[in-house]
Structure 1
Amino acid sequence: MSERHGPEHPAPRLPATDPVEADGGNPPDEKGEVLGLGRSASSAAHDPVPSHQEGGGRAGRFWSARRVPAALLALVVLGAGGLLLYDVAAVRAGRPAMQWRRSLADELARRPLENAWLLAAAALAVAIGLWLLVLAVTPGLRGLLPMRRDRPGVRAALDRSAAALVLRDRAVEVSGVQSVRVRMGRGRAVVRAVSHFRELDDVRADLDTVLGTGIRELGLARPPSLSVHVRRPAKKR
């Protein structure tokens, strides 16, 4: 029996490594046939929708500090601005402009706007600007699932791999389950189980109940929907 984890005992931040399925990882189609191997396996799928609001307040996603892009941009702007201001001050003091500024002005005056190098430089500048805008308006940290804010001033999040590990531990405790794979997304948890005995519908129903309870006990602000797929192990040759 695997140790259960919950909000009181958070799971370690470990990747959800699961046993390799007997069919070599080939997913079954809707009729239960293992693709590419010519072997059949019974399967059943169910997609219950658990309640998404159970007490607690709404909690937003955690924002990434993005210190490295901010530091690089600040260094580039600081260096370019300082060099330009120094050259402008030198020209005002009666000294000639730096060679790089004279060369740049001459090149820009001679080259037409449809020049390939100018277009490439403009496209690069636009791409960098769009990238910085995306970083500025998106929170990032997609691997963290915000938890309910039951106490004012306290925010918490659960790592997606840890949440998947908790659900996997719950699933392997169900009678008839041989192996389980859990993929935890921001809005959907996909569970693929292999059952070596018991009826597939019974195993699936038990998994729906156990995993639905497990998702609620994770204490997430936006509990993901649950998709459970159960099948028989592939026949050995």
Structure 2
Amino acid sequence: MTGPGEDGNGGRAGRFWSARRVPAALVAVVVLGAAGLLLYDVAAVRAGRPALGWRRRLARELAHRHLENGWIVAGAVVAVLLGLWLVVLALTPGRRGVLPMRRDSPDVRAALDRRAAALVLRDRVMEVSGVQSVRVDVGRLTVRARARAHFRDLDEVRADVDGVLADGVRELGLARRPVLSVRVHRPPRR
């Protein structure tokens, strides 16, 4: 028996990871620039030249300011938050807009965009007799459908919408079958 996210033939269908090239490039450029500037200044001091003005001013400020100073604490908090943000970016998959599909072959990975899945399911629900309008939201774990029925019994429409959505989700071929949540109501009377 296969577990969630697995298929008998292709193995585990994990989530897709974002490349995050722009944040990585920005961090690399900032670190490279800061390290190059510091290395140049250290080499200049070793060669007998005075330290650059920013380094002398920074050393003087750090020598005269206490650690409880508001600017020092604020700078430390900003550095810690920026570091935590970069760690979270590095450790989490960022492609939340795509849903992994079942793997029928170990060499092929496929995904479906959430908006495309919602559009397909919405079109399927609109074919149900008695549905006037519908809104379908597809999340990683749930599919929520809010339909407006106009001439059939609400329980009959709800049962038909449940069936159509269950068939539609199964035919999408998602690795993890989401939970269905269906609400059917009548339009307000005028």
TM-score normalised to the size of structure 1?
0.76
**2-structure distance, mates of 1:53, 1:63:** 16
Contact residue 52 and residue 224 of structure 1 kept, 8 A: no
* 1:54 shift after superposition: 8.4
Contact residue 144 and residue 157 of structure 1 kept, 8 A: yes
Paired residue for 1:76? 30
Equivalent positions of 1:54-69 (< 5 A) are: 55-56=7-8, 57-69=11-23
**2-structure distance, mates of 1:54, 1:95:** 64
User: Which of 189, 207, 210 does residue 164 from structure 2 map onto?
Assistant: 210
Secondary structure, in 3 states, of the residue corresponding to 2:188? coil
Equivalent positions of 1:12-91 (< 5 A) are: 55-56=7-8, 57-91=11-45
Of Structure 1 and Structure 2, which has the larger fraction of its residues in helix?
A: 2
* 1:55 shift after superposition: 4.4
**1-structure distance, mates of 2:162, 2:5:** 18
Distance 1:201 1:223, change over 3 A: same
Q: For residues 109-163 of structure 1, give each alpha carbon's deviation from its aligned partner in whole angstroms, at most 9, with x where no partner exists.
A: 0000100000000000000000000001000111100111111111111000000
**1-structure distance, mates of 2:156, 2:81:** 53
**2-structure distance, mates of 1:92, 1:53:** 59
User: Which blocks of at least 5 consecutive residues in structure 1 are unaligned?
Assistant: 1-50
Counterpart AA for 1:75: V
Does 2:87 match 1:136? no
Distance 1:151 1:90, change over 3 A: same
* 1:58 shift after superposition: 2.4
Distance 1:88 1:54, change over 3 A: closer
Structure 1 stretch 94-103 or stretch 129-138: which is displaced more?
A: 94-103
**2-structure distance, mates of 1:190, 1:64:** 26
Equivalent positions of 1:106-185 (< 5 A) are: 106-185=60-139
Distance 1:53 1:112, change over 3 A: closer
Q: Which has the higher contact order (CA 8 A, sep 6+)?
A: 1
**Percent of paired sites with the same residue:** 72
**2-structure distance, mates of 1:54, 1:94:** 65
TM-score normalised to the size of structure 2?
0.94
User: Which blocks of at least 5 consecutive residues in structure 2 are unaligned?
Assistant: none
Paired residue for 1:42? none
Counterpart AA for 1:204: R
* 1:233 shift after superposition: 1.1
